[in-house]
Amino acid sequence: MTSLSTQSCDACQADAPQVTDQERQELHPQIPDWILVEEDGVEKLQRHFRFRNFVDALAFTNQVGELAESEGHHPAILTEYGKVTVTWWTHKIHGLHRNDFICAAKTDSLFSGD
């Protein structure tokens, strides 16, 4: 199985399919630190990352921002003192696309320095 973090996150069309239950069962174990959250009826992937201070948190926010720009897919990034919360979902389909799992895995790679 190809690692999620090495796949590319294709731009998503409004008629693209949400992940199926089967895909979810295959993909979620590859990003075990991410939880599924529902906000306003939209399912999203979310993970909290911990840091020593605000500067380190903001540096990670910028790394995730750079990833987002390079993938053409943008998460919500909440920066606080010592903590960054990243949330991925696909706006156009109001839910989760395979892209979101790929981008979550790439975010993990940034954190662990892989």
Angle in degrees, 0-180, between the axes of helices 54-71 and 98-112, rounded to the nearest 10:
140
Asked if 50 touches its own copies (CB under 8 A), the answer is: no
Q: Of residues 58-77, which lie at the interface with its own copies (CB under 8 A)?
A: 58, 61-62, 65, 68-69, 74, 76-77
Strands (E), the chain: 35-39, 42-50, 76-80, 83-88
Asked if 81 touches its own copies (CB under 8 A), the answer is: yes
For its own copies, the closer of residues 61 and 109 by Cβ is 61
User: Distance of CA 104 to CAs 46, 75, 95, Å?
Assistant: 8, 9, 14
**Where on the chain is the footprint of its own copies (CB under 8 A)?**
54-55, 58, 61-62, 65, 68-69, 74, 76-81, 91
